[in-house]
Amino acid sequence: MPYEPISVFDIFKIGVGPSSSHTLGPWRAGQAFIKSLEQKAMLSDLTHLQILLYGSLAKTGKGHGTDIAIQLGLAGYDPVEIDTSVIPSVIETIRDKKSLGPELSIRFDPSEDIIFLMNESLPHHPNALSFLADFNGHSSIAETYYSIGGGFIEKEAGSLTEKKMVQLPFPIDTAENLLHWCRKTGFSIHEVVMENELAWREESEIKKQLGKIWKVMRDCMYKGCHTEGVLPGGLQVSRRAAALNKKLLKGRIYSDYSGWVKAIKEGGKDFQYILDWVSCFALAVNEENASFGKVVTAPTNGAAGVIPAVLQYFICFTDEFQEEKVLSFLLTASEIGSIFKKGATLSAAMGGCQAEIGVSSAMAAAALTESMGGTQRQALMAAEIAMEHHLGLTCDPIGGLVQVPCIERNTMGAIKAITASQLALQSMPDFAKVSLDAVIRTMWDTALDMNSKYKETSDGGLAVHIPLSLPEC
């Protein structure tokens, strides 16, 4: 495989829901196309622009907000910095004025200029979009981008990476590579990852950015646990996290995140109580994600609730928690996600939901195991167990929305991660029959064999067996 150094901040990216591949990726593609025109000094001569959506982007684009994301990217908004509350008004203004704004003043009508090609796919990847641009002087260009999962994008016949290509001190493509470096150095997994990160940026900056990642996760979870209502999109799915949060706390008073954690801990450590809280944490994040909220790809938006839920479980219900372990948890989790990306895929359009919830569960399981004092081999064993029991999981979103069954699947992924960690901590990896690398190869084989209707197209599974009439959205 080609050399591909992947940073923790490639796996964990701040963005806007509901989908990393169908929302964040197309948003980034829109930004990249505008930047491409600027670099060629062609932007001022642009007279007309159309966007063609292929494959999975076309079939579930409305439900995932793909058209909205592209408009925001073209109009100059950044998914990390945007105040999500302005999104409805921005989109309404573009629609009413038929213009992408002062920086791109050409006539643009989303209903005519974003075209959903439901029955066409490009061979490289199911998530493809093309920008067709006309210019003064009657010249034209076409650029095609692929949203390959987790917010990563590729440009056809070209590279998009602006990341400094570095030679990492510990190059890792497989779990066996990772274990090799751990053995050779005596480092834990997160220490190996930190040494690699230092090839890109200073340690203080790494810690600062990881703190920002956790803050967005934490704030998303807290907000989701305190927001009631119905999710957008037409399915009329009621939010559940806020009601469950209120029920579990039984009137205990708090005013901020720290007080909330204290109030949760006061409820004890009964098994059912803990189980309900893990579900509540995961539900909260993905209800926010479904509402165009600010989330972190972990490794995708559709699976954004698993890692925050398991990390919050670690904080609230274990004796091993220490504040500094939040950062090491994220470092360890990111490396597992990186290995899955290199050996298989993070895209549900390529591999079904095993590529999202399965990978996130494996990431969380490894991170929790190391945080609880497990060895490197136990951490990798936990990741293997978590993925082994997600193999073959399909992606069949009802109405093309990241709601049913996606939100509940995050609760299942979080619980499986905790169970996998517990199993690994009570096991001897010497006697394991399946390695993490073997399960990654199996996941990829399964992805290749899986029928396309189970790969984020809404052409199969629950998406066709739940007869719902959805409005245009």
The pLDDT value recorded for residue 264 is 98
Write out pLDDT tens, residues 107-116.
999 999 999 9
The pLDDT value recorded for residue 369 is 98
Write out pLDDT tens, residues 298-331.
999 999 999 999 999 999 999 999 999 999 999 9
Residue 182: pLDDT over 70: yes
Residue 405: pLDDT over 90: yes
Query: What does pTM read for this prediction?
Result: 0.93
The pLDDT value recorded for residue 164 is 55
Residue ranges and CATH numbers for the domains of the chain are: 19-155 (3.30.1330.90), 175-465 (no CATH)
Q: Tell me what the mean pLDDT of segment 82-110 comes to.
A: 91
Residue 162: pLDDT over 90: no
**178-183 LR contacts (CB < 8 Å, sep 24+):** 178/335, 178/339, 178/376, 178/380, 179/376, 179/377, 179/380, 182/376
The pLDDT value recorded for residue 469 is 52
The pLDDT value recorded for residue 170 is 98
Write out pLDDT tens, residues 191-247.
999 999 999 999 999 999 999 999 999 999 999 999 999 999 999 999 999 999 999
Q: Tell me what the mean pLDDT of segment 123-136 comes to.
A: 94
Residue 471: pLDDT over 50: no
The pLDDT value recorded for residue 468 is 66
Q: In three state form, how does the secondary structure of the chain look? A: CCCCCCCHHHHCCEEECCCHHHHHHHHHHHHHHHHHHHHCCCHHHEEEEEEEEEHHHHHCHHHHCHHHHHHHHHCCCCCCCCCHHHHHHHHHHHHHHCECCCCCCCECCHHHHEEEECCCCCCCCCEEEEEEEEECCCCEEEEEEEEEECCEEEECCECCCCCCCCCCCCCCCCHHHHHHHHHHHCCCHHHHHHHHHCCCCCHHHHHHHHHHHHHHHHHHHHHHCCCCCECCCCCCCECCHHHHHHHHHCCCCCCCHHHHHHHHHCCCCCHHHHHHHHHHHHHHHHHHHHCCCEEECCCCCCCCCHHHHHHHHHHHHCCCCCCCHHHHHHHHHHHHHHHHHHHCCCCHHHHCHHHCHHHHHHHHHHHHHHHCCCCHHHHHHHHHHHHHCCCCCCECCHHHCCCCCHHHHHHHHHHHHHHHHHHHHCCCHHHCCCCHHHHHHHHHHHHHHCCHHHECCCCCCHHHHCCCCCCCC
The overall average pLDDT reported for the chain is 94
Q: Tell me what the mean pLDDT of segment 90-110 comes to.
A: 90
Question: Can you tell me the distance from the alpha carbon of 186 to that of 115, in angstroms, rounded to the nearest whole number?
Answer: 54
What confidence category does residue 95 fall into, taking pLDDT thresholds of 50, 70 and 90?
Answer: very high
The pLDDT value recorded for residue 472 is 40
Q: Tell me what the mean pLDDT of segment 10-21 comes to.
A: 95
Question: Can you tell me the distance from the alpha carbon of 326 to that of 456, in angstroms, rounded to the nearest whole number?
Answer: 32
The pLDDT value recorded for residue 279 is 98
Q: Tell me what the mean pLDDT of segment 62-79 comes to.
A: 94
Query: 90-104, 243-257, 307-321, 331-345: which range is least confident on average?
Result: 90-104
The pLDDT value recorded for residue 157 is 76
